[in-house]
Amino acid sequence: MPPVTKPAHEKYDIVFIGGGSGGVAGARRAASYGATVAVIEESEKLGGTCVNVGCVPKKIMWHAADIADKIRHAEGYQFKGPGIGAPQFSWATFKPQRDAYIRRLNGIYDNNLGKEGVELHHGRARLLSPTAVEITRSDGSTYTLNTDRICVATGGRPTIPSDDEIPGASLGINSDGFFDLEDQPRRVAVVGAGYIAVELAGVLHTLGSEVTMLIRGETVLRTFDPMLGETLTNWMKHTGINFRHGAHVKKVEGAKGQELTLTLESGETLKVDTLIWAIGRHANTEGLGLEEFGVKLDKKGNVVVDEFQETGVPGITALGDVAGKALLTPVAIAAARRLSNRLFGPEKFKGDKLDYNNIPTVVFSHPTIGTVGLTEPEARKKYGDENIKIYKSSFRALYFSMIPEEHKEPSVYKLICAGPEERVVGIHIIGLGSDEIMQGFGVAVKMGATKADLDNTVAIHPTSAEELVTLR
Protein backbone atom coordinates (compact mmCIF):
# COMPACT_ATOMS: atom_id res chain seq x y z
CA MET A 1 0.00 0.00 0.00
CA PRO A 2 1.54 3.36 -0.99
CA PRO A 3 1.89 5.81 1.90
CA VAL A 4 -0.72 8.54 2.04
CA THR A 5 0.19 12.21 1.88
CA LYS A 6 -2.77 13.62 3.78
CA PRO A 7 -5.24 12.30 6.34
CA ALA A 8 -8.15 10.33 4.93
CA HIS A 9 -10.19 10.81 8.11
CA GLU A 10 -11.12 13.82 10.17
CA LYS A 11 -10.25 11.85 13.28
CA TYR A 12 -8.63 8.51 14.06
CA ASP A 13 -9.30 6.14 16.90
CA ILE A 14 -5.56 5.66 17.43
CA VAL A 15 -2.32 6.75 15.81
CA PHE A 16 0.80 4.64 16.26
CA ILE A 17 4.06 6.57 16.02
CA GLY A 18 6.62 4.08 14.72
CA GLY A 19 6.31 1.40 12.06
CA GLY A 20 8.39 -1.23 13.80
CA SER A 21 7.25 -4.56 15.13
CA GLY A 22 5.26 -3.06 18.01
CA GLY A 23 3.58 -0.27 16.07
CA VAL A 24 2.60 -2.50 13.17
CA ALA A 25 1.32 -5.29 15.43
CA GLY A 26 -0.76 -2.89 17.52
CA ALA A 27 -2.12 -1.10 14.47
CA ARG A 28 -3.19 -4.31 12.73
CA ARG A 29 -4.85 -5.67 15.85
CA ALA A 30 -6.73 -2.41 16.45
CA ALA A 31 -7.86 -2.28 12.82
CA SER A 32 -9.06 -5.89 13.00
CA TYR A 33 -11.60 -4.71 15.61
CA GLY A 34 -12.85 -1.98 13.27
CA ALA A 35 -10.82 0.92 14.65
CA THR A 36 -9.69 3.74 12.37
CA VAL A 37 -5.90 3.51 12.57
CA ALA A 38 -2.84 5.29 11.21
CA VAL A 39 0.85 4.45 11.48
CA ILE A 40 3.55 7.11 11.15
CA GLU A 41 7.01 5.89 10.14
CA GLU A 42 9.93 8.26 9.63
CA SER A 43 12.02 5.94 7.44
CA GLU A 44 11.05 4.41 4.12
CA LYS A 45 11.28 0.90 5.57
CA LEU A 46 8.72 -0.76 7.79
CA GLY A 47 9.69 -3.34 10.38
CA GLY A 48 11.91 -1.26 12.63
CA THR A 49 15.14 -2.51 14.13
CA CYS A 50 14.23 -6.20 14.12
CA VAL A 51 13.51 -6.53 10.41
CA ASN A 52 16.09 -4.09 9.08
CA VAL A 53 19.12 -4.04 11.39
CA GLY A 54 18.35 -6.54 14.13
CA CYS A 55 16.90 -9.98 14.73
CA VAL A 56 16.24 -11.05 11.16
CA PRO A 57 19.45 -10.09 9.32
CA LYS A 58 21.42 -11.04 12.45
CA LYS A 59 19.92 -14.53 12.46
CA ILE A 60 20.64 -14.87 8.73
CA MET A 61 24.29 -14.00 9.42
CA TRP A 62 24.28 -16.48 12.31
CA HIS A 63 23.02 -19.19 9.94
CA ALA A 64 25.86 -18.37 7.53
CA ALA A 65 28.37 -18.70 10.36
CA ASP A 66 26.75 -21.91 11.54
CA ILE A 67 27.09 -23.39 8.06
CA ALA A 68 30.78 -22.44 8.09
CA ASP A 69 31.14 -24.43 11.29
CA LYS A 70 29.27 -27.37 9.77
CA ILE A 71 31.64 -27.36 6.81
CA ARG A 72 34.56 -27.53 9.22
CA HIS A 73 32.90 -30.35 11.15
CA ALA A 74 32.08 -32.33 8.01
CA GLU A 75 35.55 -33.88 7.97
CA GLY A 76 34.75 -35.66 11.22
CA TYR A 77 31.78 -37.28 9.51
CA GLN A 78 34.06 -38.42 6.67
CA PHE A 79 32.82 -36.05 4.02
CA LYS A 80 35.47 -35.56 1.34
CA GLY A 81 35.98 -33.23 -1.55
CA PRO A 82 36.82 -29.62 -2.38
CA GLY A 83 36.03 -27.11 0.37
CA ILE A 84 35.33 -29.64 3.10
CA GLY A 85 36.99 -28.45 6.28
CA ALA A 86 37.84 -25.04 4.82
CA PRO A 87 34.75 -22.87 4.23
CA GLN A 88 35.09 -19.96 1.84
CA PHE A 89 32.47 -17.31 2.49
CA SER A 90 31.73 -14.44 0.11
CA TRP A 91 30.44 -11.59 2.23
CA ALA A 92 30.34 -9.26 -0.78
CA THR A 93 27.85 -11.43 -2.66
CA PHE A 94 25.92 -12.61 0.40
CA LYS A 95 25.09 -9.09 1.63
CA PRO A 96 22.94 -8.08 -1.37
CA GLN A 97 21.19 -11.46 -1.22
CA ARG A 98 20.40 -10.89 2.47
CA ASP A 99 19.31 -7.30 1.80
CA ALA A 100 16.94 -8.45 -0.94
CA TYR A 101 15.21 -10.74 1.55
CA ILE A 102 14.85 -7.86 4.01
CA ARG A 103 13.29 -5.68 1.29
CA ARG A 104 10.80 -8.48 0.68
CA LEU A 105 9.88 -8.42 4.37
CA ASN A 106 9.44 -4.65 4.21
CA GLY A 107 6.94 -5.20 1.43
CA ILE A 108 5.09 -7.87 3.40
CA TYR A 109 4.74 -5.50 6.36
CA ASP A 110 3.41 -2.83 4.01
CA ASN A 111 0.92 -5.21 2.41
CA ASN A 112 -0.29 -6.45 5.79
CA LEU A 113 -1.11 -2.91 6.88
CA GLY A 114 -3.00 -2.39 3.66
CA LYS A 115 -5.01 -5.57 4.09
CA GLU A 116 -6.15 -4.42 7.52
CA GLY A 117 -7.02 -0.93 6.26
CA VAL A 118 -4.31 0.84 8.27
CA GLU A 119 -3.14 4.16 6.83
CA LEU A 120 0.63 4.47 6.49
CA HIS A 121 2.13 7.94 6.72
CA HIS A 122 5.83 8.54 6.10
CA GLY A 123 7.38 11.46 7.95
CA ARG A 124 8.59 12.81 11.28
CA ALA A 125 5.96 12.88 14.03
CA ARG A 126 5.56 15.49 16.74
CA LEU A 127 2.74 15.87 19.21
CA LEU A 128 0.75 19.10 18.98
CA SER A 129 -1.51 17.94 21.80
CA PRO A 130 -2.53 14.62 23.39
CA THR A 131 -5.01 14.28 20.50
CA ALA A 132 -3.08 15.71 17.53
CA VAL A 133 0.11 14.65 15.76
CA GLU A 134 1.93 16.76 13.20
CA ILE A 135 3.74 14.95 10.40
CA THR A 136 6.69 16.59 8.66
CA ARG A 137 7.40 14.94 5.33
CA SER A 138 10.83 14.66 3.71
CA ASP A 139 10.00 17.63 1.44
CA GLY A 140 9.31 19.82 4.49
CA SER A 141 5.54 19.91 4.07
CA THR A 142 3.39 19.25 7.13
CA TYR A 143 -0.10 18.08 8.00
CA THR A 144 -1.89 16.99 11.14
CA LEU A 145 -3.69 13.82 12.25
CA ASN A 146 -6.41 14.26 14.86
CA THR A 147 -6.95 11.23 17.04
CA ASP A 148 -8.53 9.96 20.22
CA ARG A 149 -5.40 8.06 21.22
CA ILE A 150 -1.67 8.07 20.51
CA CYS A 151 0.70 5.15 21.00
CA VAL A 152 4.42 5.91 21.00
CA ALA A 153 6.30 2.92 19.56
CA THR A 154 9.40 4.62 18.18
CA GLY A 155 11.89 2.02 19.43
CA GLY A 156 15.51 2.71 20.20
CA ARG A 157 18.92 2.98 18.59
CA PRO A 158 22.50 1.98 19.43
CA THR A 159 24.51 4.17 21.76
CA ILE A 160 27.93 5.31 20.60
CA PRO A 161 30.38 7.54 22.51
CA SER A 162 30.81 11.10 21.27
CA ASP A 163 34.14 12.32 19.97
CA ASP A 164 34.25 14.60 23.00
CA GLU A 165 34.11 11.57 25.29
CA ILE A 166 36.50 9.45 23.23
CA PRO A 167 38.41 11.25 20.46
CA GLY A 168 37.83 9.45 17.18
CA ALA A 169 34.91 7.37 18.50
CA SER A 170 32.87 8.23 15.39
CA LEU A 171 35.39 6.31 13.28
CA GLY A 172 33.75 3.18 14.65
CA ILE A 173 30.36 1.76 13.71
CA ASN A 174 27.45 0.41 15.72
CA SER A 175 25.29 -2.67 15.21
CA ASP A 176 23.32 -0.85 12.50
CA GLY A 177 26.57 -0.19 10.67
CA PHE A 178 27.48 -3.88 10.84
CA PHE A 179 24.72 -4.58 8.34
CA ASP A 180 26.04 -1.87 6.01
CA LEU A 181 29.47 -3.51 5.69
CA GLU A 182 29.99 -4.33 2.01
CA ASP A 183 32.99 -6.57 2.66
CA GLN A 184 34.10 -8.71 5.56
CA PRO A 185 36.64 -6.91 7.73
CA ARG A 186 39.82 -8.87 8.42
CA ARG A 187 40.49 -7.47 11.91
CA VAL A 188 37.67 -6.32 14.19
CA ALA A 189 37.47 -4.89 17.69
CA VAL A 190 34.11 -5.19 19.45
CA VAL A 191 33.53 -2.97 22.47
CA GLY A 192 30.90 -4.34 24.83
CA ALA A 193 29.93 -7.52 26.64
CA GLY A 194 26.18 -7.72 26.09
CA TYR A 195 24.30 -10.05 23.80
CA ILE A 196 24.68 -7.82 20.73
CA ALA A 197 28.46 -7.69 21.18
CA VAL A 198 28.60 -11.44 21.69
CA GLU A 199 26.48 -12.21 18.64
CA LEU A 200 28.35 -9.94 16.24
CA ALA A 201 31.73 -11.11 17.51
CA GLY A 202 30.67 -14.74 17.13
CA VAL A 203 29.47 -14.29 13.56
CA LEU A 204 32.58 -12.43 12.47
CA HIS A 205 34.98 -14.87 14.12
CA THR A 206 33.21 -17.97 12.83
CA LEU A 207 33.28 -16.55 9.30
CA GLY A 208 37.02 -16.00 9.57
CA SER A 209 37.67 -12.50 10.91
CA GLU A 210 40.22 -11.87 13.64
CA VAL A 211 38.16 -10.58 16.56
CA THR A 212 39.16 -8.83 19.77
CA MET A 213 36.57 -8.24 22.50
CA LEU A 214 37.14 -5.20 24.69
CA ILE A 215 35.17 -5.70 27.91
CA ARG A 216 35.22 -4.12 31.35
CA GLY A 217 34.72 -7.26 33.42
CA GLU A 218 35.90 -10.86 33.42
CA THR A 219 33.00 -12.36 31.47
CA VAL A 220 30.45 -11.45 28.83
CA LEU A 221 26.68 -11.34 29.47
CA ARG A 222 26.99 -10.05 33.01
CA THR A 223 23.23 -9.52 33.40
CA PHE A 224 22.55 -13.19 32.61
CA ASP A 225 23.03 -16.16 34.92
CA PRO A 226 26.75 -16.31 35.79
CA MET A 227 27.04 -19.86 34.45
CA LEU A 228 26.14 -18.67 30.96
CA GLY A 229 28.66 -15.85 30.87
CA GLU A 230 31.46 -17.98 32.29
CA THR A 231 30.84 -20.89 29.92
CA LEU A 232 30.55 -18.70 26.84
CA THR A 233 33.57 -16.54 27.66
CA ASN A 234 35.76 -19.60 28.13
CA TRP A 235 34.57 -21.14 24.87
CA MET A 236 35.02 -17.92 22.91
CA LYS A 237 38.58 -17.75 24.15
CA HIS A 238 39.11 -21.42 23.31
CA THR A 239 38.01 -20.82 19.72
CA GLY A 240 40.49 -18.00 19.25
CA ILE A 241 38.60 -14.79 20.04
CA ASN A 242 40.95 -12.37 21.77
CA PHE A 243 39.88 -10.66 24.98
CA ARG A 244 41.08 -7.51 26.72
CA HIS A 245 39.60 -7.40 30.21
CA GLY A 246 39.16 -4.14 32.06
CA ALA A 247 39.65 -2.41 28.73
CA HIS A 248 38.65 1.19 28.10
CA VAL A 249 39.23 2.87 24.75
CA LYS A 250 41.04 6.18 25.21
CA LYS A 251 41.16 7.33 21.58
CA VAL A 252 40.73 6.10 18.02
CA GLU A 253 42.91 7.29 15.15
CA GLY A 254 42.74 6.72 11.41
CA ALA A 255 40.11 7.20 8.74
CA LYS A 256 36.77 5.56 8.01
CA GLY A 257 37.17 2.54 5.79
CA GLN A 258 40.89 2.34 6.52
CA GLU A 259 43.09 0.92 9.28
CA LEU A 260 42.22 2.25 12.73
CA THR A 261 44.51 2.47 15.74
CA LEU A 262 42.84 2.06 19.12
CA THR A 263 44.68 3.32 22.18
CA LEU A 264 43.48 1.83 25.45
CA GLU A 265 43.75 3.53 28.82
CA SER A 266 46.36 0.91 29.72
CA GLY A 267 48.57 2.33 26.96
CA GLU A 268 48.18 -0.72 24.71
CA THR A 269 47.37 -0.07 21.06
CA LEU A 270 45.35 -2.24 18.68
CA LYS A 271 45.24 -1.98 14.92
CA VAL A 272 41.95 -3.04 13.34
CA ASP A 273 40.02 -2.60 10.14
CA THR A 274 36.65 -2.14 11.86
CA LEU A 275 35.66 -0.97 15.33
CA ILE A 276 32.17 -1.92 16.51
CA TRP A 277 30.60 -0.15 19.48
CA ALA A 278 28.07 -2.47 21.17
CA ILE A 279 27.72 -0.70 24.49
CA GLY A 280 23.95 -0.40 24.77
CA ARG A 281 20.89 1.27 23.30
CA HIS A 282 18.72 4.27 24.08
CA ALA A 283 15.15 5.29 23.33
CA ASN A 284 14.04 7.35 20.34
CA THR A 285 12.13 10.05 22.22
CA GLU A 286 13.88 13.22 21.03
CA GLY A 287 11.78 15.71 19.10
CA LEU A 288 8.43 14.03 19.75
CA GLY A 289 7.24 16.78 22.09
CA LEU A 290 6.23 14.27 24.74
CA GLU A 291 7.39 16.19 27.81
CA GLU A 292 5.54 19.32 26.72
CA PHE A 293 2.29 17.51 27.46
CA GLY A 294 3.32 15.86 30.72
CA VAL A 295 4.68 12.52 29.49
CA LYS A 296 7.47 11.53 31.86
CA LEU A 297 10.83 10.17 30.73
CA ASP A 298 13.29 8.40 33.00
CA LYS A 299 16.96 9.38 33.26
CA LYS A 300 17.77 7.18 30.25
CA GLY A 301 15.12 8.83 28.10
CA ASN A 302 12.67 5.93 28.22
CA VAL A 303 8.95 6.70 28.38
CA VAL A 304 7.62 5.85 31.85
CA VAL A 305 4.51 3.66 31.62
CA ASP A 306 2.38 1.60 33.98
CA GLU A 307 1.41 -2.06 33.64
CA PHE A 308 -1.17 -1.15 30.97
CA GLN A 309 1.38 0.83 28.89
CA GLU A 310 -0.30 4.08 30.00
CA THR A 311 1.89 7.15 30.43
CA GLY A 312 -0.39 8.92 32.91
CA VAL A 313 -1.42 11.44 30.25
CA PRO A 314 -4.94 10.46 29.13
CA GLY A 315 -4.88 8.99 25.62
CA ILE A 316 -1.10 8.60 25.35
CA THR A 317 0.44 5.14 25.65
CA ALA A 318 3.90 3.77 24.85
CA LEU A 319 5.35 0.31 24.30
CA GLY A 320 8.34 -1.61 23.01
CA ASP A 321 11.94 -0.47 23.34
CA VAL A 322 10.95 3.16 23.83
CA ALA A 323 9.45 2.15 27.18
CA GLY A 324 12.79 0.65 28.25
CA LYS A 325 11.60 -2.69 29.59
CA ALA A 326 12.55 -6.10 28.14
CA LEU A 327 13.96 -4.80 24.86
CA LEU A 328 12.84 -7.69 22.69
CA THR A 329 10.78 -7.73 19.49
CA PRO A 330 8.25 -10.35 20.71
CA VAL A 331 7.72 -8.27 23.85
CA ALA A 332 6.83 -5.20 21.79
CA ILE A 333 4.47 -7.26 19.63
CA ALA A 334 2.81 -8.91 22.62
CA ALA A 335 2.39 -5.61 24.49
CA ALA A 336 0.96 -3.93 21.38
CA ARG A 337 -1.59 -6.64 20.68
CA ARG A 338 -2.74 -6.67 24.28
CA LEU A 339 -3.06 -2.89 24.28
CA SER A 340 -5.27 -2.98 21.20
CA ASN A 341 -7.24 -5.89 22.65
CA ARG A 342 -7.94 -3.82 25.75
CA LEU A 343 -8.81 -0.62 23.93
CA PHE A 344 -10.81 -1.98 21.00
CA GLY A 345 -11.51 -5.66 21.61
CA PRO A 346 -14.41 -7.52 23.19
CA GLU A 347 -15.27 -7.32 26.88
CA LYS A 348 -13.14 -10.33 27.80
CA PHE A 349 -10.02 -8.29 26.93
CA LYS A 350 -10.83 -5.16 28.96
CA GLY A 351 -8.14 -6.01 31.50
CA ASP A 352 -5.62 -7.33 28.99
CA LYS A 353 -1.98 -6.47 29.61
CA LEU A 354 1.42 -8.06 29.13
CA ASP A 355 2.93 -9.95 32.04
CA TYR A 356 6.62 -9.06 31.96
CA ASN A 357 7.61 -11.94 34.24
CA ASN A 358 9.27 -15.09 32.91
CA ILE A 359 9.93 -13.83 29.39
CA PRO A 360 12.06 -16.41 27.56
CA THR A 361 14.88 -15.21 25.34
CA VAL A 362 17.87 -16.56 23.48
CA VAL A 363 21.32 -15.36 22.47
CA PHE A 364 22.55 -16.36 19.03
CA SER A 365 26.07 -16.91 20.20
CA HIS A 366 28.30 -19.86 19.29
CA PRO A 367 26.97 -22.01 20.96
CA THR A 368 23.49 -20.60 21.44
CA ILE A 369 21.94 -19.69 24.78
CA GLY A 370 18.39 -19.96 26.09
CA THR A 371 17.15 -18.43 29.31
CA VAL A 372 13.91 -17.82 31.18
CA GLY A 373 13.07 -16.71 34.70
CA LEU A 374 15.36 -15.74 37.55
CA THR A 375 19.13 -16.06 37.56
CA GLU A 376 20.63 -17.94 40.49
CA PRO A 377 21.68 -14.75 42.33
CA GLU A 378 18.20 -13.26 41.77
CA ALA A 379 16.49 -16.42 43.02
CA ARG A 380 18.65 -16.63 46.15
CA LYS A 381 17.96 -12.97 46.91
CA LYS A 382 14.22 -13.37 46.43
CA TYR A 383 13.63 -16.70 48.16
CA GLY A 384 16.68 -17.13 50.42
CA ASP A 385 19.54 -19.61 50.02
CA GLU A 386 17.81 -22.24 52.10
CA ASN A 387 14.79 -22.29 49.74
CA ILE A 388 16.72 -22.70 46.50
CA LYS A 389 17.86 -25.95 44.92
CA ILE A 390 20.04 -26.02 41.82
CA TYR A 391 20.12 -28.85 39.31
CA LYS A 392 22.92 -28.72 36.78
CA SER A 393 24.34 -30.85 33.99
CA SER A 394 27.41 -30.40 31.78
CA PHE A 395 27.78 -32.54 28.68
CA ARG A 396 28.60 -32.60 24.96
CA ALA A 397 25.82 -32.96 22.41
CA LEU A 398 25.84 -36.22 20.45
CA TYR A 399 26.50 -34.25 17.27
CA PHE A 400 30.07 -33.64 18.47
CA SER A 401 30.82 -37.34 19.00
CA MET A 402 32.46 -37.56 15.56
CA ILE A 403 34.36 -34.30 15.84
CA PRO A 404 37.87 -33.74 17.27
CA GLU A 405 37.97 -32.92 20.97
CA GLU A 406 39.14 -29.34 20.52
CA HIS A 407 36.02 -28.51 18.49
CA LYS A 408 33.43 -30.05 20.82
CA GLU A 409 31.22 -27.23 22.07
CA PRO A 410 30.11 -27.36 25.70
CA SER A 411 26.51 -27.78 26.79
CA VAL A 412 25.59 -26.72 30.33
CA TYR A 413 22.04 -26.77 31.67
CA LYS A 414 20.88 -25.25 34.95
CA LEU A 415 17.50 -25.59 36.62
CA ILE A 416 16.67 -23.26 39.51
CA CYS A 417 13.91 -24.46 41.84
CA ALA A 418 12.30 -22.66 44.79
CA GLY A 419 10.41 -23.81 47.87
CA PRO A 420 9.42 -27.26 49.12
CA GLU A 421 7.35 -27.83 45.97
CA GLU A 422 10.47 -27.08 43.89
CA ARG A 423 8.73 -24.74 41.51
CA VAL A 424 10.97 -24.00 38.52
CA VAL A 425 11.81 -20.29 38.72
CA GLY A 426 14.69 -20.27 36.24
CA ILE A 427 16.11 -22.30 33.37
CA HIS A 428 19.44 -21.38 31.79
CA ILE A 429 20.97 -23.43 28.99
CA ILE A 430 23.91 -23.08 26.66
CA GLY A 431 24.83 -25.50 23.92
CA LEU A 432 23.79 -26.80 20.52
CA GLY A 433 20.07 -26.23 19.89
CA SER A 434 19.42 -24.14 23.01
CA ASP A 435 17.65 -21.49 20.93
CA GLU A 436 14.96 -23.92 19.76
CA ILE A 437 14.73 -25.85 23.04
CA MET A 438 13.93 -22.79 25.14
CA GLN A 439 10.54 -21.92 23.63
CA GLY A 440 8.83 -25.04 24.94
CA PHE A 441 10.41 -24.85 28.36
CA GLY A 442 9.44 -21.19 28.49
CA VAL A 443 5.81 -22.34 28.36
CA ALA A 444 6.44 -24.74 31.24
CA VAL A 445 7.95 -22.04 33.46
CA LYS A 446 5.13 -19.63 32.59
CA MET A 447 2.61 -22.27 33.66
CA GLY A 448 4.34 -22.73 37.03
CA ALA A 449 5.95 -26.11 36.38
CA THR A 450 7.67 -27.92 39.24
CA LYS A 451 10.67 -30.19 39.17
CA ALA A 452 8.24 -33.10 39.60
CA ASP A 453 6.41 -32.02 36.43
CA LEU A 454 9.65 -32.22 34.50
CA ASP A 455 10.52 -35.55 36.11
CA ASN A 456 7.12 -36.90 35.08
CA THR A 457 7.76 -36.03 31.45
CA VAL A 458 9.20 -38.88 29.37
CA ALA A 459 12.49 -37.93 27.74
CA ILE A 460 12.98 -37.72 23.98
CA HIS A 461 16.13 -39.66 23.20
CA PRO A 462 18.74 -38.96 22.00
CA THR A 463 18.45 -35.19 22.35
CA SER A 464 20.09 -32.49 24.38
CA ALA A 465 16.70 -31.31 25.60
CA GLU A 466 16.10 -34.56 27.48
CA GLU A 467 18.68 -33.44 30.05
CA LEU A 468 16.13 -30.99 31.43
CA VAL A 469 13.68 -33.76 32.30
CA THR A 470 16.28 -36.16 33.70
CA LEU A 471 18.27 -33.91 36.04
CA ARG A 472 18.99 -35.27 39.51
Q: Does a cis peptide bond (omega within 30 degrees of 0) precede residue 462?
A: yes
On the question of a cis peptide bond just before residue 130, with omega within 30 degrees of 0, the verdict is no
Interatomic CA distance for residues 465 and 49, integer angstroms: 31
Three-class HEC string of the chain:
CCCECCCCCCCEEEEEECCEHHHHHHHHHHHHCCCCEEEEECCCCCEHHHHHHCHHHHHHHHHHHHHHHHHHHHHHHCCCCCCCCCCCCCHHHHHHHHHHHHHHHHHHHHHHHHHHCCEEEECEEEEEECCEEEEECCCCCEEEEEEEEEEECCCEEECCCCCCCCCCHHHCECHHHHCCCCCCCCEEEEECCCHHHHHHHHHHHHCCCEEEEEECCCCCCCCCCHHHHHHHHHHHHHHCCEEEECCCEEEEEECCCCCEEEEECCCCEEEECEEEECCCEEECCCCCCCHHHCCCECCCCCECCCCCCECCCCCEEECHHHHCCCCCHHHHHHHHHHHHHHHHCCHHHCCCCCCCCCCCEEECCCCCEEEEECCHHHHHHHHCHHHEEEEEEEECCHHHHHCCHHHCCCEEEEEEEECCCCEEEEEEEECCCHHHHHHHHHHHHHCCCEHHHHHCCCCCCCCCHHHHHCCC
Q: Which residues are annotated as catalytic?
A: 461
- Residue type at position 226: P
